[in-house]
Amino acid sequence: MGKGKILVTGGTGYIGSHTVVELFNAGYEPIIIDNLSNSSISVLDGIKAITKVPVTYENIDCKDYNSLERFFEKHQDMKAIAHFAAYKSVGESVSKPISYYRNNIVSLLNLLQLMPNFGIKNIVFSSSCTVYGQPDELPVTEQSPIKPATSPYGSTKQMCETILNDAAIANPEMNSIILRYFNPIGAHSSAEIGELPNGIPNNLLPYITQTAAGIREKLRVFGDDYNTPDGSCIRDYINVVDLAKAHVVAIDRLIEEKNKKNIEVFNLGTGNGSSVLEILNGFESATGVKVPYEIVERRAGDIEKVWADTTFANQELGWKAEIPLEESLLSAWNWQKKLQ
């Protein structure tokens, strides 16, 4: 806890909660604000079961400027912000664009407006490989072109990156790191924290684990007629703990002023692509649990294949995804069984 306070917005969420644990392990004092719009207060118990100490938490909506300002007044000595609080469902964003723009944009604007008033210079922002759309070349690097967003969710991530870039130009003393996640999967090895999808899971692995648990009847594989070896879409699935550790490295980098520019972007992936059917078969092999599935039509908005060129993050951050895919699949299943 001696390395100072880190504000973790959205810290009861999937990536946020795992990052809180890794910040604690690294000697920081993580402080969570979250409005529980897409998570549960019970996550705090899971975090405490791992860290053995309670983590400071306040129910604050980052869209509420006054509440946020009062929080900043109470915690004047924060060293950095890890900003996760955002709505993140691609499908939902199509039906609720205004809610997504208001939530994801205003939350960031409020933080950026308050930071200089309280001497906070460092922010790490949770972005997504979705900003690349369907890359023309693979693997995708940080210099790969940003494609027009295919959902309001993707649009908000692109807009937030633009806002951070413009803020960096206007405020040279501010330091930002944008982390573009590929597909986060798995759960902490303790099975005390993990992914808590709201309702019917949009994402592949939680749908697989719920099907394996008998909660869902079968997995629908959205298309096997893509231009890939087995016809199903390819993604770069990265373990959530590896992802969390990358946030600690990024925060260390800013606090120790090792960043080369006052805004930097890193891809956070494994560098390996796996198809939907490979994930399905890999899950069955790792767990011994059969998962009934049916090939159905493609899902609107899905891109065919994307995986990361991780060279820059590996070399510049000195960070590399280490947890094998099989372990991620098993940890997701162990977490699902804990939820029953």
Q: Is 83 in the site for ligand WQD (CB under 6 A)?
A: no
Return all residues near 235 (Cβ < 8 A) that are at least 6 apart.
Answer: 182, 183, 204, 273, 274, 305, 306, 307
Three-state SS at 168 = helix
Give whichever of 175 and 232 is closer to ligand WQD, judged by the CB atom.
Answer: 232
How far apart are alpha carbons 31 and 39 in whole angstroms? 16
**Among residues 20, 108, 276, 325, which is the contact residue for ligand WQD, using CB under 6 A?**
276
Q: How far is CA 337 from CA 14, 168, 192, 237, 334, in A?
A: 17, 44, 11, 21, 5
Q: Is 87 an active-site residue?
A: no
Q: Is 101 in the site for ligand WQD (CB under 6 A)?
A: no
Binding-site residue total for ligand WQD (CB under 6 A)?
18
Give the DSSP letter string of 247-315. HHHHHHHHHTT--SSSEEEEEES-S--EEHHHHHHHHHHHH-----EEEEPPPTT--SB--B--HHIII
Give min distance, CB of 202 to ligand WQD, in A. Answer: 5
Tell me the two tokens of residue 30. 């993580």
302-321 residues in contact with ligand WQD (CB under 6 A) are: 302
Give whichever of 177 and 276 is closer to ligand WQD, judged by the CB atom.
Answer: 276
Give whichever of 171 and 203 is closer to ligand WQD, judged by the CB atom.
Answer: 203
Give min distance, CB of 221 to ligand WQD, in A. Answer: 4
**Among residues 90, 191, 250, 263, which is the contact residue for ligand WQD, using CB under 6 A?**
90
Site map (CB under 6 A) of ligand WQD, residues 161-180, x = contact = --------------------
How far apart are alpha carbons 91 and 89 in whole angstroms? 6
**Among residues 93, 103, 110, 128, which is the contact residue for ligand WQD, using CB under 6 A?**
128
Three-state SS at 185 = strand
**Among residues 40, 51, 67, 203, which is the contact residue for ligand WQD, using CB under 6 A?**
203
Give whichever of 20 and 78 is closer to ligand WQD, judged by the CB atom.
Answer: 20
